[in-house]
Amino acid sequence: MKRFYFLGLCCFLFVLAGCQTSQQELLKTDKSQVQLRSIQTRAFDTTDREKMLRTVIATLQDLGFVIDKAEAILGSVTATKLQGYNLVMTVSVRPKGDTQLLVRASAQFNVTAVTAPKPYQDFFSTLSKAMFLEAHQVD
Amino acid sequence: MKQLLIGFPLVCLLFVAGCDTIPPDALVLKATTLQDRKLQSRKFQTSDEIKVLVACSGLLQDLGFNLSESETKLGVLVAYKDRSAVEGGQVAVKLIIALAGGGNVPIDKNQRLKASVITKPSLENTNEIVVRVTFQRMVFNDLNQVTKLEQLKDTKQYQDFFNSLSKSLFLTANDI
The ipTM assigned to this model is: 0.82
Tell me the one-letter amino acid at A29: T
Q: Round to the nearest angstrom and report the end-to-end CA distance of chain B.
A: 65
Give buried/exposed letters for A48-58 (b at 16+ CB in 10 A, else e).
Answer: eeeebbbbbbb
Tell me the one-letter amino acid at B5: L
Instruction: Give Cα separations from B12 to A9, A22, A79, B144 (angstroms).
Output: 12, 18, 33, 26
What does the alpha-carbon distance between residue A3 and residue A55 come to, in Å, rounded to a whole number?
63
User: Is A83 close to B21, i.e. CB distance below 8 A?
Assistant: no
Average pLDDT per 10 consecutive residues for chain B, totaling 176 residues: 55 53 93 94 94 94 95 96 93 90 91 96 90 96 95 95 90 72
CA angle centred on A83, ends A78 and A133, rounded to 5°: 50
Hey, which residues 51-110 in chain A have their CB within 8 Å of chain B? 53-54, 57-58, 61-72, 77, 80-87, 107, 109-110
Lowest-confidence pick of A24-33, A103-112, A113-122 = A24-33
How far does A95 lie from chain B, in Å, by closest CA? 17
User: Is A9 close to B23, i.e. CB distance below 8 A?
Assistant: no
What does the alpha-carbon distance between residue B163 and residue A90 come to, in Å, rounded to a whole number?
32
Average pLDDT over residues A18-42: 83
Do A42 and A137 form a contact (C-beta atoms < 8 A)? yes
What does the alpha-carbon distance between residue B43 and residue B129 come to, in Å, rounded to a whole number?
6
Closest CA to B134 of B11, B18, B7, B33: B33
Tell me the one-letter amino acid at A31: K
Burial of B165 (0-12, 13-18, 19+ CB in 10 A): buried
Position A82 pLDDT exceeds 90: yes
- Chain A residues whose CB is inside 8 A of the B138 CB are 82
What does the alpha-carbon distance between residue B131 and residue A50 come to, in Å, rounded to a whole number?
17
Instruction: Give Cα separations from A116 to A32, A121, A138, B66, B145 (angstroms).
Output: 13, 9, 17, 36, 29
pLDDT band at residue A18, thresholds of 50, 70 and 90? low
pLDDT band at residue A3, thresholds of 50, 70 and 90? confident
Lowest-confidence pick of A95-99, A132-136, B32-36 = A132-136
B152's enclosing H/E stretch is: strand B146-152
SS3 state at B24: coil
User: Is A72 close to B71, i.e. CB distance below 8 A?
Assistant: yes
**pLDDT given for residue A30 in this prediction:** 77
Do B54 and B69 form a contact (C-beta atoms < 8 A)? no
Do B110 and B139 form a contact (C-beta atoms < 8 A)? yes
A69: closest chain B residue by CA: B69
Position A91 pLDDT exceeds 80: yes
Tell me the one-letter amino acid at B145: Q
pLDDT band at residue A21, thresholds of 50, 70 and 90? confident
Alpha helices (runs of H) in chain A, residue ranges in sequence order: 2-18, 33-40, 49-62, 117-131
Lowest-confidence pick of A18-27, A70-79, B63-72, B117-126 = A18-27
Position A117 pLDDT exceeds 70: yes
Please report how many Cα atoms fall inside a 13 Å half-sphere around the Cα of residue B131, on the Cβ side: 33
**pLDDT given for residue A8 in this prediction:** 74
Position A40 pLDDT exceeds 60: yes
